[in-house]
Amino acid sequence: MVAVIYAFNLAIAITGTLILIYLIYYKIKAATKSEERWKELVENLALDIDTATQNILLELPFPLVILKEDDTVLWYNSDFRNILGDRRNLLNKSLKQVFEDLDIEKFYQREDKFITYYYEGNHYRVYTNSVKNINSEKIRMLYWIDYTEYEELMDRYLLERPVIAFIQVDNYDEVLKSSKDSYKPLITAIIDRKINAWAKDMNAYVNKYDPDQYLMMFEYEYLSVMEEKRFNILDIMRETQSGNKIPITLSIGVGISDQKLSFPQLQELSKSALDIALARGGDQAVLRKDGKLSYFGGKTQAVEKRTKVKARIKAHGIKELMENSENVLVMGHENPDIDSLGAALGIFRCARFLGKEASIVLDKSNPSIDVLYKELMENGYETALSSSESARKAANEDTVLVIVDVHKRNLVQDPDLIDKVGKIIVIDHHIRAAEFIEESVLTYLEPYASSTCELVSEIIEYIDDGVELTEIEATALLAGIYMDTKNFAIKTGVRTFEAASFLRKNGADTLKAKKLLKDDREVLIAKSQALKEAQFIKGNIAIAIVNDQSDKANLITAQTADELMNIQGVEASFVIALGDNTAIISGRSYGGLNVQRILETLGGGGHMTVAGAQLTDTDIETAREMLKNAIDEYLKEGEDK
């Protein structure tokens, strides 16, 4: 504008120029002064912040320690000094001089940037933060938050969690029936008194809701006491003698979870644990925790139930399921034996009697059943046997699959077949293991039975009076009983003889049944060699090695274990063989040692007197050491009790 005025009036233009120069000078001076005042303000603010930071660090309500980049202590506040104690001086020293097990590197591996640390009775959460100082050096600040009170409250909460246990007297009726009338009230009173006394020691509430059943509630902290004493109420009750002729045994089921469960859920969990204890033969406690099972006790044989009511009920259920099916498939375990194939033949005959298409799943023969298999082929049973592939094609939602002599999914002839059928029935006499086939709609699991053939014989008897067994079927069932009872010498009850009598009436040939169990020359030689080289541990436990690696290894192992029990002084025998890169172990006893409990720790199972295990990718020497360790643990457990 001044420049334009120069064209019209020189005096006004000069005056305007002077004013413009003054305004420019004033603006520059004002801007300079403002910048100086802002710098002074910022500097004063920084000084205030440094002072505040120092005061905060000094007055922090929790311990703080500052470390150099090499983890030596640069500074710590008074609260951290209280952790160290007045006698401690860590300046310019490594923090690990006091906290030896404190792994600082863990801080840089965790997303939440804190670790938990226990020191001299206190629990700390240690947080970290990395910053750079004025010299651009990296320093680490560790904040120690004391959460001891929270941890103690959590521990108290966990220890006071409610636990439900179900207790059942296994043989209540049998004990009373075997006792004189004058002793019966005394026996009942003693059972009540001992269970209540044990509950009182555990600070538990116990309620008797049936003559032979009890419900107990207690706090979680007492569960560890029960485990430590290995549920000694089992031994206390078994040793009770008050006019009873047979030992009193209990089954206990306890279910717990790390997750918060309602009382109905706890009840269901504990009830299922009791069912497992009963299915395993009783006289034991089963602890079920988040799907994992622990077993305690199991020192006596399962008591034979003389009443056949259960057999009649199961037979009726099996008949109904078969009648409402399109076809029936029968399957045993892999490498079936006479008990497995004999039981399968019995179920096959029941299905055919009910007018159903039926077949037995069997891929190939093996040395244990070669003689029976040959007899079946000679008697026209080719169409009764089906391969796994053919069985899978025939299976549908209307198919009933009957699994005999096994209840573990991974041990059946064809595990894939289980998922292709609509209904599953399990019939077995082995002690229930953790890997049970849960999909079954009907389970007949009786550890007291001598064999699956005994159970199937009773089922045939009650399904219908019109079921007619062929001679080879009846003989195979009888041979299965012969094999598992060692010719009626072991694990034989009244019902075993009744089943044998029923089969004899239905045409079983006793001489042919014996022939089905005959050995060939190679098996006898291998057994003799293993018996000759058997070793003894603990004075009365025999361990033998079978060097035969043929397909007869399973048969030789089992029979050698039987033969070792004929040696005077032997209380238990174990035989190991190698087949297909798998160590096979067979165990036998007369009941003094529970071979099932020993081999169960190696992934096996069976009965107290007859059990087996298979260790994949294991050589003979490794299997021997694992077996010895399992025996030592079992014997040590007995000594601790």
Annotated binding site for Mn(2+): 333, 337, 339, 405, 429, 484
Cβ–Cβ < 8 Å for 315, 396: no
**Strand, helix or coil for residue 241:** coil
Mapping DSSP onto H, E and C, the string for 34-101 reads HHHHHHHHHHHHHHHHHHHHHHHHHHCCCCEEEECCCCEEEEECHHHHHHHCCCCCCECCEHHHCCCC
Which residues lie closer than 8 Å to 276 by C-beta, 6 or more apart?
253, 286, 288, 293, 432, 436
Structure tokens at 491: 């694990």
**Residue 240 near residue 249 (C-beta atoms within 8 A):** no
The helix, strand and coil proportions of the chain, stated in percent and rounded to the nearest 5, come to 45, 20, 30
Closest CA to 164 of 291, 263, 283: 263
Decide: 249 and 303 in contact? Cβ < 8 Å.
Answer: yes
Backbone dihedral region for residue 580 (phi beyond 0: left; psi -120 to 50: alpha; all else: beta): left
The one-letter amino acid at 216: M
CA count, 13 A, side-chain hemisphere, 566: 8
By the 10 Å C-beta count (0-12 exposed, 13-18 middle, 19+ buried), 29 is classed as: exposed
Pairwise CA distance, residues 641 & 635, whole Å: 10
- Euclidean distance between CA atoms 454 and 480, whole angstroms: 8
Q: Which residues pair with 543 in a beta bridge?
A: 535, 574
Asked if residues 302 and 281 have their Cβ atoms less than 8 Å apart, the reply is yes
Could you give the CA distance from residue 410 to residue 141 in angstroms, rounded to a whole number? 55
Classify residue 108 by its DSSP letter: G
Tell me how far apart the alpha carbons of residues 495 and 329 are, in angstroms, rounded to a whole number: 27
Look at residues 482, 554, 471 and name the one whose alpha carbon lies nearest to residue 518: 482
In the numeric block, which tokens belong to residue 7?
A: 């064209």
Largest CA distance in the chain: 149
Question: Are 549 and 579 in contact, with CB atoms under 8 Å apart?
Answer: yes
Q: Which residue ranges make up the annotated binding site?
A: 333, 337, 339, 405, 429, 484
Contact 452, 460 (CB under 8 A): no
CB under 8 Å to 497, separation ≥6 — which residues? 488
* d(C-alpha 57, C-alpha 188), whole Å: 72
Beta strands across the sheet bearing 385-386: 385-386, 357-361, 327-331, 399-404, 423-428, 442-445
The 10 Å Cβ neighbour count of residue 591 is: 16
Phi, psi dihedral angles at 399 (to 5 degrees):
-95, 140
Decide: helix, strand or coil at residue 272: helix
